[in-house]
Structure 1
Amino acid sequence: MNRKSWWMATLMLASLPVTAGSLFDPVELSDAELAQLRGRYVLPDRIISFGVVMSSSWQNGSGQIVGAQVALNVASGQSQPSLTVNMINQAGAAGVVTAGTGQVIGGAGLNTVQGIVQSVRTAGDFNNGLNDVNVSVSTGGALQATPVGQAFTGSESFSNSAGAVQVSTANGGLQIALQAANGQGISTQQIGGGGVAQHANIGGSLNTVRNLAELNVALRDNTRNVNMTNCLEQLRSLRQGGY
């Protein structure tokens, strides 16, 4: 329990009779109890916009890039959320990419982990992999721009000389699955079903792999903290009783 929560609990206890105080001593909540309280401390009218952006990309040894980005955005006043998808496509130096011969084995247990799971495994040389989840909460800002792209219909596929990528629904969420060409490897990223999973298995060399996810929440300024005001009013009434 954070410091603010303990302080507010103490203020409330101070307003109780001494005999009743022992019945309401602060007790640390378990993880299961906290899980039932997620999202209940922000009033709906304070949320200006909410968005999730997920992108996966693969750059091979010649600089060619293939990937996809999917974005979910809900703004105040929207009748329904927008869900768009874009291909990430970049030409390289048109050089020859050496076929990957490395083999990544095992790791089946990673698919059963709950919560956030990230892995980068490589059987090649000079590779670079990054899995990242970022949460951004801002206040007093403007509406987030609605992502530009084609409407997501449930399954989209893209490909170029660097590989192929598919965006689809899976296990109650969204998944980006990428198969790099010339045996360079695979990457997957999934949000939903109670967790976030980001994996990269690299079998070639000189590859750069990125699995990125960002959650953005914009809130209106909270000009008056009603809960804190109520607690202060309780303290003010105690002065007359000599506390």
Structure 2
Amino acid sequence: MKHTRLFILGASALALSQWANTARAESAPPGSGLEEISDAELGDMRGRYTPGDNTVAWFGVKMISTWQTTAGQVLEGTMALSMDLAKSKPTVSFVPSVSITQINAPPPAPSTDPSRHIDASGLANVAGVTQSVQVAGDSNLASNVTRLSVQDGGTVPATDGPSSGPDMASAYADGASAVASFDGNSANVLLTIDGQGAVSQWIHNGSIGQSVQLAADNQWVSNRMEIDLIRQSMAANTQLAQNVAQSIALARGIGLR
């Protein structure tokens, strides 16, 4: 609604300006045709067009991280986050979930090999989309997968309103931890095993990422992120489109004397 109001104000100003130019042109003597518009006149012109047919109405992301050790222990963290932007007041909902199965399974012994070194601190300086795999071990299987789905005019999933439950879920057992959290500015999933590494996914302001760090053998790790966008249909912005067309029509002839 804010962009729509801004557009209508801009269109109205442009229409009034054109009306004034037309009135002056009718009262002035006939000109000789097309003339260059001065910088002063150009500086007084204002206009902003925002075709809203591709405005995001709903945004949803689901992050699933899974880690299975050679001893059979399985860690899993999930964060489902959605933002309904179609309403006058955006609604945010989130559901964190974690689990550690076979808690009594003995964890892998920490490696004492000094050559097994992993360091992902540089990822903090990367913006945009990040996918990183660092492995210092043998017979490991690791994957980072991101899927993006965009719909035009799709049905916005029903929600129960803003989330009011806990913004973090966590589980700990025998040096292993699984945490899924949301703090209002970022959503994170993190799996760690002492001495073996870390598996993580995140969505921050201006950054989406997946990272795998392993310093063990025979580990199976998977990061999967599913992002869904629903854009407003053209029918929902028919009036806005008409305003754009009308303003463009009114702008014709500017620069003629």
TM-score computed with the length of structure 1 as normaliser: 0.62
Aligned to 2:22: none
Unpaired runs of at least 5, structure 1: 1-16, 21-39, 239-243
Residue 78 (structure 2) pairs with residue 69 (structure 1): yes
Which residue, out of 172, 178, 189, partners 1:159? 172
- In the TM superposition, residue 216 of structure 1 has moved relative to its aligned partner by 0.9
- Aligned mates of 1:206, 1:152 — CA distance in 2: 37
Correspondence for 1:199 among 211, 226, 233? 211
Q: Judge which range, 166-175 or 54-63, deviates more.
A: 166-175
After superposition, the Cα gap between the structure-2 partners of 1:220 and 1:113, relative to the gap in structure 1 and judged at 3 Å, is: closer
2:78–2:96 contact (8 Å) kept in structure 1: yes
After superposition, the Cα gap between the structure-2 partners of 1:210 and 1:42, relative to the gap in structure 1 and judged at 3 Å, is farther
1:199 partner amino acid? S
Asked if the contact 1:63–1:91 (Cα under 8 Å) also holds between the matched residues in 2, the reply is: yes
Q: Structure 1 residues 99, 143: CA separation in 2 closer, same or farther (over 3 Å shift)?
A: same
From the superposition, tell whether residues 153 and 60 of structure 1 become closer, same or farther in structure 2 (CA, over 3 Å).
same
| Matching residue of 1:178 | 191
The CA deviation at 1:170 is 6.9
Q: In the alignment, does 2:228 pair up with 1:216?
A: yes
Report deviation, 1:202: 0.6
Measure the CA separation in 2 of the matches of 1:111 and 1:72.
22
- Calculate the aligned-residue CA RMSD, in Å: 4.3
Separation in structure 2 between the aligned mates of residue 107 and residue 84 of structure 1, nearest angstrom: 27
TM-score normalised by L of structure 2:
0.59
Q: Secondary structure at the match of 1:226?
A: helix
Residue number in structure 2 paired with 1:80: 91
Match of 1:99 among 99, 102, 109: 109
CA displacement at 1:151 relative to structure 2: 5.8
Question: For residue 79 of structure 2, what is the amino acid of its counterpart?
Answer: V
- Separation in 1, partners of 2:232, 2:145: 27
Note the residue ranges of structure 2 that are not aligned, 5 or more in a row.
1-33, 38-49
Counterparts of residues 139-158 of structure 1 (less than 5 Å): 139-144=152-157, 146=159, 153-158=166-171
How far apart are the structure 2 equivalents of 1:130 and 1:18? 63
Structure showing greater Rg: 2
* Aligned positions of 1:33-52 closer than 5 A: 42=52, 47-52=56-61
- The one-character-per-residue Cα deviations of 1:4-26 (angstroms, maximum 9, x if unpaired) are xxxxxxxxxxxxx6967xxxxxx
Task: Give the fraction of aligned pairs with identical amino acids, expressed as a percent.
Answer: 23
2:146 is the alignment partner of 1:138: no
Q: Is residue 2:73 matched to residue 1:60?
A: no
